[in-house]
A and B are shown apart, each in its own frame.
Chain A
Amino acid sequence: MKLWKDFSNGIIKENPTFRLVLGTCPTMAVTTAVFNGLGMGIAVIAVLICSNLIISLINKIVPNEVRIPIYVVVIATFVSAVEMLIKAFSPALDSALGIFIPLIVVNCIILARAESFASKNPPLNSIMDGLGMGVGFTLALVFMSGVRELLGAGTFLNMPIFGAGFEPALILILPPGGFLVYGLAIALFNKLIVKKA
């Protein structure tokens, strides 16, 4: 049961995007289209699970004074691997996400989970925490990019949804639209989910 709790924690109670407000920079930048949001989310899930596992395994031998640089090295290793995989298998996603893939290294969700969870908990729990946090992040990105792509471009996963008469609100795929959707999504999340839980 503890494992399930570690997993579900990241989806609602401590959703990294809507509750902890971590990793906002990639959230703003990549949520202009569902494809990009989904790709970013999956990349983060992969890195988060691997880095949480390794950090939880090595935490006994890591000197406390230099733990952050060591975490960053571990995370950077997996990010490099993920980046190469994306380049090889999905060049379209690679060109859409651009600099934000290497920037996963300094994504504060991953560093925060390493520091506050993986370094204090056993490996299996850390994997579940990484998976839960990653899924929570991905769901949030897909929700935000869904709203922005649907209303800002009139498409969903690049498929036109509305008829020709629909005029998309361009602002939603521009940076100000990202802030608007993010703020309103946090408000909605607090109103609908957190109060009941």
Chain B
Amino acid sequence: MSSMIFRVSSSPHIRSNESTQRIMLDVIIALIPALLAAIYFFGVKVLTVVLISVVFAVATEYAMQKILNRPITINDLSAVVTGLLLAYNVPPTAPWWMVAIGSIFAIAIVKHCFGGLGHNFMNPALAARAVLLASWPVRMSSAAFVSPGVNAVTAATPLSLFKAGAGCGNRIVITSATVATSDTLTSLWDLFIGNIGGCIGETSALALLIGGLYLIYRGVISYRIPLTYIGTVGILSYILGGFHVYCFTFHMLAGGLFLGAIFMATDYSSSPLTAKGQIIMGLGAGLLTVLIRFFGAYPEGVSYSILLMNVATPLIDRFTIPRKFGEVKKSA
């Protein structure tokens, strides 16, 4: 005991072993099931897209930190996560140069021009997706999506079919026979396991759910944003779709909702800090997604609704500052 050193210092006195690298590694682990599902459904070629995206993201991170004379932190794996998420947000047929431009934009502009890790005002991968969608709409929308399997013919996503007027069961009586024969409706089981057309990482709700549960178990993300986000979309779709259970499930499983709600909307630096704020974020993003899907021009609204809530985050944080212990509520 006598040899013990007593340190006199200000708090914090107890530090956890958590590090940026460990958190990012957890996110990468959680993203692996979706990658396996994508390889299974779209073939090994999706691996090239993912690799290009990650390599360009890490290289851009290195180059930007060199140019800006910041410490080189490519080992913290945050650029790898951005690269992975961007690759998950493009169609399997995306050309390499488009993915590369997206990666460079995400890291150089959205992340490093605004101060680097923890200072990005919106999710870098989603911002890059928005730029790619505005720049090369044909390469990013319906014509670029292929059906799963070896044939890989061009196929519309379930959501673009919904937009085109197939509806989500509000006019069609759902019986097992009509679902099986009608090619306008996508079976819920295919939606759940990911046997549908779509972006690389968004199709398999099952794989994303496994990743999400792992992240919640590890304490990397809280359940609040994903749960309120997906729940809001489900409930609003149930109401707007004419009170059909099919509609309720369809809109929760279709599109990029699971990917967005679990991995994008929970980005630390662009989502609210407080519990109340996170619930507001989930509700707001869910409302915007349903509005875009039902009334907007685009078939899918997850990316834009998350980006909009990202820029609203400082405001949400300001209005949800928790009361300090002992503080008396000011009378209005």
A residues with CB within 8 A of B:
167, 169-172, 174, 176, 180, 184, 187
Contacts and interface: CB of A to CB of B under 8 A. Distances in A.
A94 B14 CA distance: 70
Contacts of B131: 171, 176
A167 B134 contact: no
A167 B136 CA distance: 8
User: Which secondary structure dominates where chain B touches chain A?
Assistant: helix
Contacts of B134: 170-171, 174, 176
B118 interface: no
A68 B113 CA distance: 39
A interface, over-half SS: helix
Contacts of A169: 101, 135-136
Contacts of B137: 170
A1 to B, nearest CB: 38
B109 interface: yes
Of listed B109, B131, B137, B139, residue having the most chain A CB within 10 A: B131
19 contacts: A167-B136, A167-B139, A169-B101, A169-B135, A169-B136, A170-B134, A170-B135, A170-B136, A170-B137, A171-B131, A171-B134, A171-B135, A172-B135, A174-B134, A176-B131, A176-B134, A180-B109, A184-B109, A187-B113
A167 B101 CA distance: 13
A172 B134 CA distance: 9
Interface in B95-114: 101, 109, 113
A27 to B, nearest CB: 20
Nearest to A174: B134
Interface string B116-160: 000000000000000100111101000000000000000000000
A77 to B, nearest CB: 41
A172 B109 CA distance: 15
